[in-house]
Structure 1
Amino acid sequence: MRSPAVAGQFYPGSSAALKHQLEEMLHVAQELPVLGAVVPHAGYVYSGPVASEVYSRLPRRDVFVLLGPNHHGLGAPVAISRDSWRTPLGVVEPDLELADALAGTIIDHDEAAHRHEHSIEVQIPFLQARFEGFKILPLAMGLQDEETAIEVGEELGRAISRLSRNCTIIASSDFTHYEPQEVARKVDALLIEAILNMDVHELYARVYRHNATACGYGPIAATITAAASLGATSGKLLRYATSGDVTRDYGQVVGYGAIAFT
């Protein structure tokens, strides 16, 4: 069982308080046939309203593949978790058949990569607030180069197709970190343009050209690759904001984007 690492820090530690905060953020919205998505992973007070723009529009799925960066550097470079995951809202089970279908690929099984990682954990309560009876496949990427990301996406797409999974793939990433508001918005707009075009090569070119500090460009690229293989043809920006929009401190902000691939 994977126990919460950041409950009471990034989101409320009690079930009642967490449910209340999620109810305030999630809202009635037109459902979209989302095959892939990008959501942020900061504390809910900062990025929760942005993430909720994706979660409010998700269709019911049998499984959600959750990709995030490995901030701590522990474990295998690309690692899935086969554990059950507990949050204050209950326990979510892994899709072990899908995990088995990825055996022998670039994707390893390593729980150490997930033990302290918040980027995937903070997504699960949103799903629990919306749906019941779903499974997850958490995947942490410590290695985020273009070749690796594309291979991860291709392997995911093949496994999902082979098993005929009713699935949405979600990339967890914040955008620019600790830059002035105007710099963050400018750089993030360039990255988001490439993401909406589902152009992985151009995304990497812009990350390198502008020394972008988005932390999950690898998970984003893998998600684009997998979603495209499953039939997604375009991305839609649902909301963009920064931490400065919450704190009113625009000197050093973090950027957050909610994007859906359909």
Structure 2
Amino acid sequence: MKRNPAVAGTFYEAEADTLKKRIEWCFHHKLGPGKIPEIGDERRLKAAIAPHAGYIYSGPVAAHTYQAIAADGFPETFIILCPNHTGMGSGISMMPEGEWITPLGSVKIDEELATELLEASEIIDIDESAHLGEHSCEVHLPFLQYFNQDFKIVPICMWMQDLETAKEIGNAITNASKGKDVLIIASTDFTHYEPAEVAYKNDQKVLEAIISLDENRMYERIYQYNVSMCGYGPVAASIIAARGLGATRGRLLKYATSGDMTGDNSSVVGYASAILE
């Protein structure tokens, strides 16, 4: 199956040339990393966290994640964990075969790894419907394709985001990924539609738990401070999987809000880029 882009022309540009220019704008923006990195070959990273709003809002923050990924070197496969915004599909939905199309080309699904993940967990379902209109996996692909066309993905969409579910998904990823060249991307935005000072204060408390690789404390702080983070399940699963694959620390690369882009700080969305290594 070919999964055609759902948000090209809205979240990012629909034409290849203008999309590449937008990605370069993200890197050179004052909130971005300031330069476009060269591709490295260390491959130390186990997981990364990136936002998924429209590029004009969260693209410069997301560019910090992709700078780190590019500088570290591309894996063979990205497992992309995203929340379910559409309500379509099952609790945990995987698209196990086919390819995803963007204006920059196509990306194939790693069917072998997808099969092993399905065997490693009883709660992951084969369900393409959750992915057809979902933006929070798709928006990461053009950033990756800008640097490299030779990689595969396994997209997993999480409607169920409780801690027990995240633990099962994280452990399944660990078991299926050992001995393979894999990097996990957790797709999330942080506080939604609060004043900027509230978003910053509460999001920092959650981010402290994330970079400490402490998924339990992350959930505690989300509940304690009522943080409207949309992809907490994907982040928790990524922490668990990354730790199982040898990660010992996290690093926050950049935090900003939509208010930093628009100038309106009365009601913002928080964005963060981080890596687990």
Residue matched to 1:132:
149
Alignment partners' CA distance in 2, 1:143 and 1:132: 31
Residue matched to 1:219:
234
Cα deviation for residue 211 of structure 1 reads 1.2
Cα deviation for residue 132 of structure 1 reads 2.2
2:110 to 72, 90, 95: 95
Residue matched to 2:31:
none
Deviation readout 1:179-223 (Å, 9 max, x if unpaired):
000000011000000001010000011111111100000000000
Cα deviation for residue 117 of structure 1 reads 0.4
Tell me the amino acid that sits aligned with residue 42 of structure 1: A
Alignment partners' CA distance in 1, 2:235 and 2:201: 19
Residue matched to 2:210:
195
Residue matched to 1:66:
80
3-state DSSP of counterpart to 1:178: strand
Cα deviation for residue 24 of structure 1 reads 2.6
Cα deviation for residue 23 of structure 1 reads 2.2
Residue matched to 1:238:
253
3-state DSSP of counterpart to 2:197: helix
Cα deviation for residue 29 of structure 1 reads 4.5
3-state DSSP of counterpart to 1:114: helix
What is the percent sequence identity of the aligned residues?
48
Deviation readout 1:150-174 (Å, 9 max, x if unpaired):
110000110011xx21011000000
Tell me the amino acid that sits aligned with residue 245 of structure 1: D
TM-score, scaled relative to structure 2: 0.91
Q: CA RMSD in A?
A: 1.2
Residue matched to 1:51:
62
Tell me the amino acid that sits aligned with residue 46 of structure 1: Y
Alignment partners' CA distance in 2, 1:194 and 1:57: 20
3-state DSSP of counterpart to 1:232: coil
User: For the Cα contact (< 8 Å) 2:26–2:55, is it kept in 1?
Assistant: no
Alignment partners' CA distance in 1, 2:237 and 2:252: 18
Residue matched to 2:15:
14
Moved more, 86-95 or 74-83: 74-83
Task: Say yes or no: does 1:154 pair with 2:154.
Answer: no
1:81 to 92, 95, 100: 95
After TM superposition, the runs of 4+ consecutive aligned structure 1 residues lying more than 2 A away are 23-33
| Number of residue equivalences | 260
User: For the Cα contact (< 8 Å) 2:24–2:36, is it kept in 1?
Assistant: no
Alignment partners' CA distance in 2, 1:244 and 1:155: 38
Alignment partners' CA distance in 2, 1:2 and 1:60: 23
Alignment partners' CA distance in 1, 2:172 and 2:207: 24
Tell me the amino acid that sits aligned with residue 176 of structure 1: T
For structure 2, the residue ranges without an aligned partner over 5 or more in a row are 28-34
Tell me the amino acid that sits aligned with residue 131 of structure 1: N
For structure 1, the residue ranges without an aligned partner over 5 or more in a row are none
